[in-house]
């Protein structure tokens, strides 16, 4: 599927595709001496090519910059008893700060933070707080909304897809925002939305993507981790369709398959939490939110063949989100596409 310029719906604004840069830091901020001890919990593999890897990379950047001693527990099942055990293991090592990657850790973090009141806890992609518990959230719903707006402008079939695995709150927000973005630029388009139950199963992702392509979708927004390559396999096998990625810039790696990427680099949230802790600026009870105003963390990238008219329209839409003129919807009550 190649894009060619054509008449568009009424223009509504612009989103500049920013270049990927280093996470925002305060260059002259006071540095703590080496020895900050940080524990990182990943409810999945650290090299999943997606959300967990982004968090791991953010922690590694902080390790290098602040001389942190980093302990990582990964491949933990996203179930509360297992998450609680992993959090207790990290806190029990005597670390100063525990960072749990992802909103699936909310309930477990509340329980374990109360058990270790002298340890600071952070959950990313969350809004959970407590006396020694803070949240750092990269607003992936904002870039997901822009991906939906782009899909609405680019679809030729009038049908677009969405795929994810499990249902943490940020994933549900991202799905709702994508659907709202499609409706904003193409009210007549239909969205096929699926939560398969697994973020990392390549074969399952391939089957779901094939079913959505067979149902008419020519663009699919994938909020997956290690399972994402299954969607590319389905697209290549069908000889049709394109994919919108998330978390990082997949268009730089495979622009033939990826029409765009709704970047929401949660590694920036991990980095920022460790940076704030190192500089004495992390306090329990806080909910730090990072959105499109920080393009290192949140932005939409597009493949080279996306027409300039579409880029211009998305640019203005981004500006309207940042200004508050457009409120990104984070609720969805429509039908869902079943697993094949």
CATH number assigned to the domain covering 37-138+267-290:
3.40.50.2300
SS3 content of the chain, % helix, strand, coil (to 5): 35, 20, 45
Could you give the CA distance from residue 256 to residue 303 in angstroms, rounded to a whole number? 8
Could you give the CA distance from residue 340 to residue 121 in angstroms, rounded to a whole number? 40
Average pLDDT, the chain: 90
Alpha helices for the chain (secondary structure H): 51-66, 80-92, 106-115, 140-154, 169-185, 202-214, 229-238, 266-278, 308-323
Q: Which fold has domain 140-264+307-323?
A: Rossmann fold (3.40.50)
Domain boundary assignment for the chain: 37-138+267-290, 140-264+307-323
The secondary structure element, H or E, covering residue 59 is helix 51-66
CATH topology match: 37-138+267-290 vs 140-264+307-323:
yes
Query: Tens of pLDDT along 229-253?
Result: 999 999 999 999 999 999 889 999 9
Q: Which residues contact 170 (CB under 8 A, 6 or more apart)?
A: 102, 103, 125, 126, 137, 140, 141
Could you give the CA distance from residue 245 to residue 224 in angstroms, rounded to a whole number? 8
Residue 89 has pLDDT above 90, yes or no: yes
Query: What backbone phi and psi angles, to 5 degrees, belong to 99?
Result: -115, 120
Which one has a higher pLDDT value, 103 or 201? 201
If pLDDT is split at 50, 70 and 90, which confidence band does 338 have? very high
pTM of the model: 0.77
Residue 94 has pLDDT above 90, yes or no: yes
If pLDDT is split at 50, 70 and 90, which confidence band does 17 have? very low
If pLDDT is split at 50, 70 and 90, which confidence band does 4 have? low
pLDDT reported for residue 301: 98
């Amino acid at each position: 599927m190649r894009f060619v310029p054509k008449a568009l719906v009424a223009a509504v604004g612009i989103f500049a595709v920013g270049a990927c840069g280093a996470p925002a830091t305060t260059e002259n901020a006071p540095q703590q001496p080496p020895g900050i001890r940080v524990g990182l919990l990943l409810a999945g593999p650290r090299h999943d090519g997606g959300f967990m890897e982004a968090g791991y990379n953010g922690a590694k950047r902080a390790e290098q910059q602040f001389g942190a001693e980093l302990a990582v527990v990964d491949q933990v099942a996203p179930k509360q008893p297992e998450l609680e055990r992993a959090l207790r293991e990290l806190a029990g090592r005597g670390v100063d700060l525990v960072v749990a990657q992802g909103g699936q850790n909310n309930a477990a973090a509340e329980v374990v933070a109360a058990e270790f009141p002298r340890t600071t806890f952070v959950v990313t992609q969350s809004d959970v707080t407590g006396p020694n518990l803070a949240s750092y959230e990269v607003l992936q719903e904002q870039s997901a909304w822009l991906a939906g707006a782009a899909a609405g402008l680019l679809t030729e079939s009038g049908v677009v897809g969405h795929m994810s695995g499990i249902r943490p709150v940020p994933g549900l927000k991202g799905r709702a925002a994508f659907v709202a973005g499609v409706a904003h630029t193409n009210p007549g388009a239909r969205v096929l939305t699926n939560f398969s139950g697994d973020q990392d199963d390549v074969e399952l992702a391939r089957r779901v993507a094939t079913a959505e392509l067979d149902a008419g979708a020519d663009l699919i927004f994938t909020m997956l981790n290690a399972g994402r390559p299954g969607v590319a396999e389905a697209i290549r096998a069908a000889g049709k369709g394109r994919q919108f990625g998330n978390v990082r810039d997949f268009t730089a790696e495979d622009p033939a398959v990826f029409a765009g990427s709704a970047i929401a680099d949660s590694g920036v949230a991990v980095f920022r939490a460790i940076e704030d802790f190192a500089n004495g600026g992390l306090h329990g009870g806080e909910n730090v939110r990072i959105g499109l105003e920080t393009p290192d963390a949140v932005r939409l990238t597009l493949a080279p063949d996306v027409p300039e008219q579409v880029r211009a329209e998305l640019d203005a839409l981004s500006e309207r989100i940042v200004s508050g003129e457009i409120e990104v919807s984070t609720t969805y009550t429509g039908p869902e596409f079943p697993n094949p």
